[in-house]
Amino acid sequence: MLSRRDLIVGGAAAGLAPRTAFAAPVANGSGAIKPALLRAALQSYQSHRDRLKFHDYIGIADFSAASRLPRFHILDLASRRTRACL
C-alpha cells in the first residue's frame, strides 16, 4: 500500500518537489508580531538558552492571530528583525 509519505518522498526524489520553501515569507508584510508575544518569546529563549544548540534565530507561533494572517515569525536575534511566514 502506498502512503502519502511514500508519495511525497518519492516525488521529491524524482525532482517533483515544489520549488518554493515551505515557510515562504509573506509578501504583503501583514501580521506583525505582537510586542507582548515577542517579550514572552525572548524571556523563554533566555531561560532555555543553555539547552539550545543554535542561537541565531528563533521561531515564534502566534496562535491568537486569525488564520488568514501570518502566524509564524522568524526572529533574527542578532538584528532583532522579524519575518512573518505562513
CA gap 55, 78 in Å, rounded: 9
33-74 pLDDT tens trace = 889 999 999 999 999 999 999 999 999 999 998 888 899 999
- Flag whether the pTM goes above 0.95: no
Confidence of residue 25 (pLDDT cuts 50, 70, 90): very low
The domain spans of the chain are 21-85
CB burial readout 30-39, b (16+ within 10 A) else e: ebebeeebbe
CA gap 75, 61 in Å, rounded: 11
CA gap 28, 59 in Å, rounded: 19
